[in-house]
Amino acid sequence: MSTIKGKVIVKKDTVKVTEKFSKRTFVILEAGDYPQEIEVELQQDKCSLIDTIEVGQEIEAHYNLRGRSWTNPQGEVKWFNTIVVWKIDAMAKPEMQSTSQKMTIADEVGDNLPF
C-alpha cells in the first residue's frame, strides 16, 4: 500500500470529464529535506473524500499509481502517470488563530451580559 503524508495546500472543484467520469484534484505538500508539492486525483464516488478536509490540514492519502501511453498525431508515444487517491486519513485540523488571538464570549461582550 502506498501513502503520501503532508499538508493539503490546494483543493479544486470536481470536474465532470465525460457523462460517466468525474475527477477532482488537490495538492499535498510533502515535508522533508526536499519538500515536494504533489498533485493527486480523486475519481468518481471518491471525489467527496476531500470535502471535510481544510486547506492547511495534515493528511495521509492512500493511493494507486496509474500509467498509460498515448500516441500523438506525429506518431510519438508519450507516457502519463496519475496518482489516484482512494482513502484519506485526516490528522488534526489546523488552528485558525493562535492562542493569544483567541477570545472568549465573555472577553468580547464584557460584563454587560443580560443574565
Coil vs helix vs strand at 79: strand
Domain boundary assignment for the chain: 2-109
pTM beyond 0.85: the answer is no
pLDDT tens-digit profile of 1-51?
799 999 999 999 999 999 999 999 999 999 889 999 999 999 999 999 999
User: What is the CATH number that goes with domain 2-109?
Assistant: 2.40.50.140
Coil vs helix vs strand at 44: helix
Q: In whole angstroms, what is the distance from residue 51 CA to residue 35 CA?
A: 25
Nearest-10 Cα torsion for 94, 97, 100, 105: -110
